[in-house]
Amino acid sequence: MQYISTRGGMQPLPYCDTLLEGLATDGGLAVPETMPVVDGDTLERWRALTYPQLATEVLGLFATDIPREDLARMTAAAYEPFPEEVVPLRDIDGDLTLVGLSEGPTLAFKDMAMQFLGQVVEYALERKGSVLNILGATSGDTGSAAEHALRGKERISVFMLSPQGRMSPFQRAQMFSLDDENIHNIAIDGVFDDCQNLVKDLAGDLDFKRTQHLGAVNSINLARITAQVVYYFWAWLRATDAGGWTELSFTVPSGNFGNILSGFYAKQMGLPIRRLVLAANENNVLDEFFRTGIYRPRSAAQTLATSSPSMDISKASNLERFIFELVGRDPERVLAAWRDLDEQGHVDFTAELPRFQEEFGIVSGTSTHADRLATIRAVFEESEEVIDPHTADGVKVAREYVEPGVPMLVLETAKPEKFAETIREAIGVELDYSSDLRAMLEAPQHVTEMADDQAALRAFIEAHALR
């Protein structure tokens, strides 16, 4: 299996080389040269596997340059910090089932991919005898998941950008309380999209990228996408009966389009998915796109600070991978779309709109602060289950697309403890924290505040990067 760029300017690379590159050398995103396909017999053989075993099988279709025994060792190590079931499924009412993706060390779904990424990046660096300076941006959960997966690793340093004042107190504490020498937290005066633009600008400077050994852990890194494909297969196998070919639907709270893109890849691989339901918050650029065919990103000033902060994104990086498929894998049409965006402020795909639902099965909806409070309250009253605000966005939108006879699975994004203020507002409950979590919240915080200034960021990386 080789990987190419959505913009056509990168020579095909194997999996390990691709994940160390992060952003493709031409500024595009790495995608499989051909998508692997899984048939019904294979799915049935996978039904009895544990989660690490299933991850080995699914990731083995993408990481063909890694010996199977090495891959099995890495998946076992990646999911060792999780409970035995790793990803439990829980019914919350007669229509919806939660896919429990938040059982990892940072209580967020990002752990599912990031724990594997920590293993495979270290493996790839050891094979090359090299180092990597990770440059990432987070709107909340990516940063803590990455830092907890990569802390203390000798060949890796992490430079994680976050928007000042835009994360929950719990999210800030999870990141800023770390004092490992290889972890560098940088709070940017701006919104997530400003942080993401800085990452893309520096990664697009190939001389700087090579000199400073820059890599990525955001979902622009293909390893993140492929690792997330696994839990779609896992959830389907747990929600269906042996020997059947049951279609089901997934609802995915979406900000940067990485999680739902993994579901899109799983569907392309042959997993029987009827619908992929995208749930947006008030920053609903993606909902507008999938409803109208017009992609119109918003400026930093137009990006709202909401009570589901990990979705406060107005320019989704991973949409380029979907557009690549939408335009027939034609890099020239991808580049033309971005030229239109630069010139007009939007891209018009209205001619392709019927394919969104009919061919790709993607529909969407928006949830507001009032919606998520009402949803948290309703779920608690119905099942005594407390869900976080992002998952509540998913549940609210999922209910708009429930179909008779089609199971609807909602991907959980985080534990409610990460958003205690919103939970208190919704149901009047003070969540209990373990002694470890209380100690984290009270620990000294280590963070460098910085203007939205590319030169300042370059200087900081040059002063602290591994060589």
**What is the percent of the chain with per-residue pLDDT over 70, rounded to a whole number?**
100
Kindly give, in sequence order, each residue whose CB lies less than 8 Å from that of residue 455, ignoring residues fewer than 6 positions away. Answer: none
Give the residue-averaged pLDDT of 321-329.
96
Half-sphere exposure of 420 (CA within 13 A, CB side): 11
The token pair that represents 127 in the structure block: 């094979």
Q: What is the dihedral of CA 126, 127, 132, 136, to 10 degrees?
A: -100
Which pLDDT tens digit goes with each residue over 395-410?
999 999 999 999 999 9
345: left (phi over 0), alpha (psi -120 to 50) or beta: left
Q: What is the pLDDT of residue 467?
A: 85
Q: How many helices and strands, by DSSP H and E, does the chain display?
A: 20, 15
Which pLDDT tens digit goes with each residue over 110-123?
999 999 999 999 99
Q: What is the pLDDT of residue 391?
A: 98
**3-state DSSP assignment of residue 126:** helix
Q: What is the pLDDT of residue 23?
A: 82
Give the residue-averaged pLDDT of 73-77.
97
Domain hosting 247: range is: 89-107+228-427
Top-confidence residue, 50 or 432: 50
pLDDT over threshold 90, residue 265: yes
pLDDT over threshold 80, residue 171: yes
Give the residue-averaged pLDDT of 171-180.
94
Q: Which amino acid is at 214?
A: L
Kindly give, in sequence order, each residue whose CB lies less than 8 Å from that of residue 427, ignoring residues fewer than 6 positions away. Answer: 376, 377, 380, 386
**Do 195 and 203 touch, CB atoms closer than 8 A?**
no
Q: Which amino acid is at 437?
A: L
Q: How far is Cα 145 from Cα 103, in angstroms, rounded to an integer?
A: 12
- Give Cα separations from 279 to 111, 372, 389, 393 (angstroms): 20, 11, 12, 6
Q: How far is Cα 67 from Cα 193, in angstroms, rounded to an integer?
A: 38
Q: How far is Cα 406 from Cα 247, in angstroms, rounded to an integer?
A: 7
Which pLDDT tens digit goes with each residue over 14-49?
999 999 888 888 999 999 999 999 999 999 999 999
61: left (phi over 0), alpha (psi -120 to 50) or beta: alpha
Which pLDDT tens digit goes with each residue over 331-385?
999 999 999 999 999 999 999 999 998 999 999 999 999 999 999 999 999 999 9
Q: How far is Cα 248 from Cα 157, in angstroms, rounded to an integer?
A: 41
pLDDT over threshold 90, residue 204: no
Number of domains in the chain: 1
- The CATH number covering residue 344 comes to 3.40.50.1100
| Residue 62 within a domain | no
The token pair that represents 226 in the structure block: 């492929």
| Residue 300 within a domain | yes
- Give Cα separations from 365 to 107, 187, 287 (angstroms): 25, 31, 6
**Geometric angle at alpha carbon 8, from 298 and 259, rounded to 5°:** 50
Q: How far is Cα 375 from Cα 383, in angstroms, rounded to an integer?
A: 12
Q: How far is Cα 150 from Cα 152, in angstroms, rounded to an integer?
A: 6
234: left (phi over 0), alpha (psi -120 to 50) or beta: alpha
Q: What is the pLDDT of residue 248?
A: 96
Q: How far is Cα 290 from Cα 252, in angstroms, rounded to an integer?
A: 14
pLDDT over threshold 80, residue 426: yes
Which pLDDT tens digit goes with each residue over 224-237?
999 999 999 999 99
| Residue 265 within a domain | yes
**What is the percent of the chain with per-residue pLDDT over 90, rounded to a whole number?**
84
Q: What is the pLDDT of residue 221?
A: 87
The token pair that represents 129 in the structure block: 């005898």
Name the nearest CA neighbour of 226 among 409, 397, 74, 42.
74
Q: How far is Cα 140 from Cα 335, in angstroms, rounded to an integer?
A: 30
Q: What is the pLDDT of residue 245?
A: 79
Give the predicted TM-score (pTM) of the model.
0.92
**Do 227 and 113 touch, CB atoms closer than 8 A?**
yes
| Average pLDDT score, the chain | 94
Helix ranges (DSSP H) in 2-101: 15-21, 40-46, 51-62, 68-78
Q: What is the pLDDT of residue 94?
A: 80
Question: Could you list the active site residues?
Answer: 110
Top-confidence residue, 291 or 436: 291
| Residue 122 within a domain | no
Q: How far is Cα 102 from Cα 88, in angstroms, rounded to an integer?
A: 10
pLDDT over threshold 80, residue 218: no
| Residue 432 within a domain | no
| Residue 30 within a domain | no
Which pLDDT tens digit goes with each residue over 85-96?
999 999 998 889
**3-state DSSP assignment of residue 269:** coil
pLDDT over threshold 80, residue 243: no
Kindly give, in sequence order, each residue whose CB lies less than 8 Å from that of residue 81, ignoring residues fewer than 6 positions away. Answer: 104, 105, 115
pLDDT over threshold 90, residue 139: no
Q: Which amino acid is at 68?
A: R
| Residue 209 within a domain | no
